[in-house]
Chain A
């Protein structure tokens, strides 16, 4: 074997500024048709003030990853591995410990701001709740802080809006309320699960601006989960590409867009529209085949059935996440899980043997 799988070091010095360290996170669900593994040995790091994007298609395990960070998955889920927040292990932590973390250290913004806000409580009430649970402020101070938060996320006339119900606000406003709720206690980590998917493009841009501003002002580390490469290109510093429960590639954002190594990443990029392309004349490329059912398949590349470069090796053993910067001229921090990366012409298994 000429390619030596290296232990990837995309943490660039463990512990140096890493707020959140995820190691070998595995989530399995027990269903009637057997055990399904939704997340398979995922590792990633989040540093202070960093925006990391997790990208992948529906069902690749990105939301499950997000939910598992603070133990929000249903009881049917089994979580293994390690999630450390400032060194504190969260996997297997007791419920009161996790409750103290949720909303205060790790906060969430969800897709669908309509259904994610409670229709029968005023937005002010819903934001105050977080403050009351974690900060125990007086009523007056809580209200002041809520108004301050609404102003921070760019809601006009917060004094009136504080007593509105979610249905009285537009989609973009609701998502701003969600953000105000999430940042109420200055969380160290903000997990935004498809924060802009349900919104208009112009509103999307506004929401992403707010997230960027929060990062700049408060140094919040943001994990943004999306299937939209446009959002990733717009906001993320680093990207983690997931496929069928595994990380297939991880790189700084420009690097990933310039030199994708995994064929899935390359396929995703080829499938997204870009300015300059003409609809009708230039068809977007699609990735053939379907996402596999998330059964446990330990010894194969999960993408192999759909991959143009797959061979016997890919079906016989799962490629580890490696970085091969020297051979391929990649930047530090670029890792991929592929036996036949795009950067080199596909080689057959025979040639790889010495």
Chain B
């Protein structure tokens, strides 16, 4: 178990270092001299030299990389070209919004998806399965931006049950925070839960036809124990994989939902930065996204090992 986790941690760290190198070189590889771009009208050699000195551009690439890494480690992600705000403080306001949205949505999607998937598998060929399948089909085929607009129209604008847009930080007012985030979480979560439901259903059906389920039945266990303890546990690997992928996508790209509900999140910040060619922000966004993916992957590996003992001893002779 420890060997496995240490291995994974080491791999994650390596990936993170590689990601940092790629981000650093990616920006350096962009055509054009950044000093020229920053100098604007005044292109005198003195100004250019001053700019190069200020940004450390006169130094060799390895030295520049050293500075880059050093800055990141000190929480300095650079400054936005457009607004002049430090990127790290932009992150501090945008990231919590997206993280909350993503984590809440994935938790909701997992609970609903696993529940419906297990019911559909256990009640195969009966009305409960048709209902679950039908709902999943709707969840999959209805685009969530449309669902979001409908929800805003009927639940926010028409009845005023929920705010139509905006965000209140949890630390400021927890109740208002939940009030604002609920609708987007539900909208985002439904689509995701449909995917999780489909996967859970097929994984559970597979597990239910396995020999060890026959053994469990032959022991005289109740159907709830047969499914809950024996079948579901074995289908969770699939669920964790899907949910992990979805969470990664959510963090980097809940753009549409954030836009519709006017949430000042990470997706919106990315979109703005791309449209405004705000390179320091884009660079930071890529780095943070990569880090998030790596962290989620590590978490997924950790969960794998908790679910399946065969993964835990992976390297050792079984």
Interface residues in chain A, defined as those with a beta carbon under 8 Å from any beta carbon in chain B: 70, 72, 99-104, 107-108, 110, 112, 115-122, 129-130, 133-134, 165, 167-168, 178, 181
Contacts and interface: CB of A to CB of B under 8 A. Distances in A.
B309 A72 contact: no
Find the residue from A108, A118, A133 having the highest chain B CB count within 10 A.
Answer: A118
Interface stretch (B6-14, B24-32, B172-180, B213-221): B213-221
Contacts of B210: 115
Interface string B167-197: 0000000000000000000000000000000
B219 A119 contact: no
Contacts of A104: 220
Contact of B218 (A72, A119, A120, A165): A72
Contacts of B234: 118-120
Q: Which 7 A-B pairs have the closest CB atoms?
A: A103-B220, A102-B220, A115-B211, A103-B219, A118-B212, A108-B218, A165-B309
A110 B219 CA distance: 12
B229 interface: yes
30 contacts: A72-B214, A72-B218, A99-B222, A101-B220, A103-B218, A103-B220, A104-B220, A107-B219, A110-B218, A112-B211, A115-B210, A115-B212, A116-B211, A116-B215, A117-B212, A118-B230, A119-B309, A119-B310, A120-B234, A121-B233, A129-B216, A129-B219, A130-B220, A133-B221, A133-B222, A134-B220, A167-B309, A167-B310, A168-B313, A168-B318
B307 interface: yes
Nearest to B125: A75
A303 B309 CA distance: 49
Contacts of A108: 215, 218
B210 to A, nearest CB: 7
B219 A102 contact: yes
A72 B211 CA distance: 12
Nearest to B230: A118
Find the residue from B212, B220, B225, B309 having the highest chain A CB count within 10 A.
Answer: B220
A117 B213 CA distance: 8
B110 to A, nearest CB: 19
B215 A133 contact: no
Interface residues of B, number: 23
B308 A120 contact: yes
A118 B216 contact: yes
A129 B221 contact: yes
Contact of B212 (A101, A119, A122, A134): A119
A115 B234 CA distance: 12
A112 B225 CA distance: 22
B217 A72 contact: yes
Interface in B222-270: 222, 225, 229-230, 233-234
B45 to A, nearest CB: 69
A119 B211 contact: no
Given A119-B309, A178-B215, 18 more contacts: A70-B218, A72-B218, A99-B220, A99-B221, A107-B218, A110-B214, A116-B212, A116-B215, A117-B215, A118-B216, A120-B234, A120-B307, A121-B230, A129-B219, A130-B219, A134-B220, A165-B309, A167-B309
Nearest to B212: A118
A108 B213 CA distance: 13
A102 B217 contact: yes
Nearest to A184: B219
B220 A181 contact: no
Given A99-B222, A100-B220, A133-B221, A116 B233 contact: no
Contacts of A101: 220
A203 to B, nearest CB: 18
A88 B219 CA distance: 19
B220 A119 contact: no
A149 to B, nearest CB: 13
A104 B225 CA distance: 17
A99 B221 CA distance: 7
B308 A119 contact: yes
A290 to B, nearest CB: 27
Contacts of A72: 214, 217-218
A99 B226 CA distance: 12
Contacts of B233: 118, 120-121
A99 B218 CA distance: 8
Contacts of A167: 309-310, 313, 318
Contacts of B215: 108, 110, 116-118, 178, 181
Nearest to A178: B215
A26 B210 CA distance: 25
Contacts of B217: 72, 102
A112 to B, nearest CB: 6
A134 B229 CA distance: 17
A133 to B, nearest CB: 5
Find the residue from B215, B234, B310 having the highest chain A CB count within 10 A.
Answer: B215
